[in-house]
Amino acid sequence: MHPLFKGFIKNVIIIFKGRNLLWQLLAIILTIIIVANNFDWTYYQATRNAALLAFAFPAAVIGGSFPYLVPLGILAVGKALKKTRAVTTAWALGQAALMGTLISGTYKTFTGRIPRRFLAAS
């Protein structure tokens, strides 16, 4: 099994078990409230200023790629230096980034929240 997926199912179960389930439910409820009160659309419209978008663009690029580039960087350094702990950490961080992306996308699909990439295209 690829190291990225080692313990994947077990970790997903942990995310939705016990106290963590309460945090997931809170995230879902808050997302529904935000969408139902039209806050997402209001925020989107309020931030369509060209100067603001130019200023925020670097932060969006860095923030969007950071969860994926950091694990890749740690993996490269760990493999180059033959540091098992760094390699294991990199795979764990990559798995966390993947799970976060999948869970967030799933919540957006079922709560009606429109992902930013679709808003930018319209």
Q: What is the pLDDT of residues 13-23, one digit of tens each?
A: 999 999 999 99
Instruction: Provide the pLDDT confidence category of residue 119 given band limits of 50, 70 and 90.
Output: low
Instruction: Provide the pLDDT confidence category of residue 115 given band limits of 50, 70 and 90.
Output: low
Owner of token pair 């992306």: 101
User: What is the Cα–Cα distance from 103 to 120, expressed in whole angstroms?
Assistant: 21
Q: With 0-12 CB in 10 A as exposed, 13-18 as middle and 19+ as buried, what is 3?
A: middle
Q: With 0-12 CB in 10 A as exposed, 13-18 as middle and 19+ as buried, what is 107?
A: middle
Over range 88-96, report the average pLDDT.
96
How is residue 100 written in tokens?
Answer: 């976060």
Owner of token pair 């389930």: 21
What is the reported pLDDT for 56?
Answer: 83
Each residue's pLDDT tens digit, 93-113: 999 999 999 988 888 787 765
Each residue's pLDDT tens digit, 25-77: 998 888 888 888 888 888 888 888 888 888 888 888 888 899 999 999 999 99
What is the reported pLDDT for 116?
Answer: 55
When the pLDDT of each residue in the chain is averaged and rounded to a whole number, the result is 87
